[in-house]
Amino acid sequence: MRSGKRGLLTAALTVLCAVTVLSAPGTAFASAAPAPTQKATPAPTPTPVPDRDLEQVRKKLDRLYHDAAVATDAYNAAEEKTKKQSAEIVALAKKIVEGRQKLEKLKDQAGAAARDQYRTGGLSSSAQFLLSDDPGQFLDGAGRVLQGQHAAKTLMDEKTRTQRDLQRYADDAADRWQQLEANRKAKAAAKKKIEKQIDAAEELQSRLEKKEKERLARLEQEAADKAQTAWLDTGALKDVHGKASEQGEKAVRYATLQLGKPYVWGAEGPDSFDCSGLTSQAWAAAGHPVPRTSQEQWKQLRHVDVKDMRPGDLVIYFSDASHVGMYIGDGAIIHAPRPGRTVTIAGAGSMPILGVVRPDA
C-alpha cells in the first residue's frame, strides 16, 4: 500500500537526480500495512513542495523537452530523406522498365539485320561485285549496303548505351535502397529517444499534486515573462518596424488559424503540429515552401538581423536550432511549444534566440 502524498512528493524530488528513478517509481514508496488490532491512522497532510524545488522540476522538464525537440528534428529530417529516396527509387524503377523495353526492341532490330545478312550469303562486297551480272546494279546496291552497315553500327552502339544506362540505373537504385534503410534506422532511433524523453517528463509531472502543477505552470510563465522583459530591455525592438510581405501575411494568417491545436511531434497538420511542422506548412500555404526542420530552416534560409525582422519571418531558438516560431509583430511569435501544449502566442524573447531567417527573401 502506498504511504501517502508525502511519499509522492519525496519521489518527485528524487526523480530530479536520475532518470533511472523514473523507470522504477515503485522504489520511491514505502509499504506499511497497519496492525490488525490497530485503527489505521489518517494519511498525513502533504507538505507543499517549496518553489525552489519546483524550479528544479521546471528546469528538468525544460531539458527533457529540449532533448525531445532535438530528436524530433532528427526524426523529421530522416522522414524527409526517406520520402525523397523513395521517390527516386520509383523514378529509377520506371527508367529500368523503359530501358529494358528499349533493349528488347533493339535486340529485335539487331536480329532482323542479322537475318538480312544471312540471306545475302555473307559474301564480301568484292565477291558480290565480281559475281554480279549487272555491275551497275550492284554499285547501286553497294550504296544501300553501306547505309545498312552504318545503320547496323548505330544500332549496336545504341544497344551498348542502353545496357550501360540500365546498369547505372540499377546501381543508383541499390545505393538509394541502402540510404533508405539507413534513414529508416535513424528514424527508429530518433523515435525511441523522443518517446523516452516525453515519457520521463510525463512521469515527473504525474508525481505532482494538482496545486503543485498549477504553481509549476506559473513558474514556467514567470520564467518566460522574465526572459521576454530582459530581451525587450535590451532595446531589441526599438528599430523593428518591418512590414510583412504579401506572402508573409498569408503565412501569418495560416499560423493564426492553427491557434489552440495540439502539439504532436512529427506532425505537420492539419489537426496537430510540431514547431517546424507549423512554420513549414504556413509558408507552403503562402506559396513558398521551406525546409521541413528548424535546423534546415536555419541553414538554408536567408539570415536577417533582429532589427530588420518583419511578420512572417522565422525566429530560430537555442544554440542547436532545435525550435522555431513565426514572428507576428509587436515582439510576439506564434509557435507550437512542446508536448502537452497547444499552438499559442508567446513573447519572441521568451526563449534564447539564435537568429532570424526570412523565407521569401
Instruction: Just list the catalytic residues.
Output: 275, 323, 335
The long-range contacts involving 152-157, CB below 8 angstroms and separated by at least 24 positions, are 152/110, 152/113, 155/106, 155/109, 155/110, 155/113, 156/110
Tell me the helices (H) and strands (E) count for the chain, helix number first.
9, 6
Query: What is the Cα–Cα distance from 126 to 138, expressed in whole angstroms?
Result: 10
User: Coil, strand, or helix at residue 11?
Assistant: helix
Query: What is the Cα–Cα distance from 15 to 13, expressed in whole angstroms?
Result: 5
Sign of CA dihedral 156, 159, 165, 168: negative
Instruction: Give the number of other CB atoms < 10 A from CB of residue 161.
Output: 13
Contact assessment for residue 282 and residue 251, using Cβ atoms and an 8 Å cutoff = yes
Query: What is the Cα–Cα distance from 361 to 308, expressed in whole angstroms?
Result: 12
Alpha helices, DSSP H, located in 16-134: 19-22, 51-119, 125-131
**Cell representation of residue 358:** 526570412
Query: What is the Cα–Cα distance from 89 to 73, expressed in whole angstroms?
Result: 24
Pairing outcome for strands 332-335 and 344-347: antiparallel
Provide φ and ψ at 130, rounded to 5°: -65, -35
Provide φ and ψ at 45, rounded to 5°: -65, 125
Query: What is the Cα–Cα distance from 275 to 308, expressed in whole angstroms?
Result: 23
281: enclosing H helix or E strand: helix 275-285
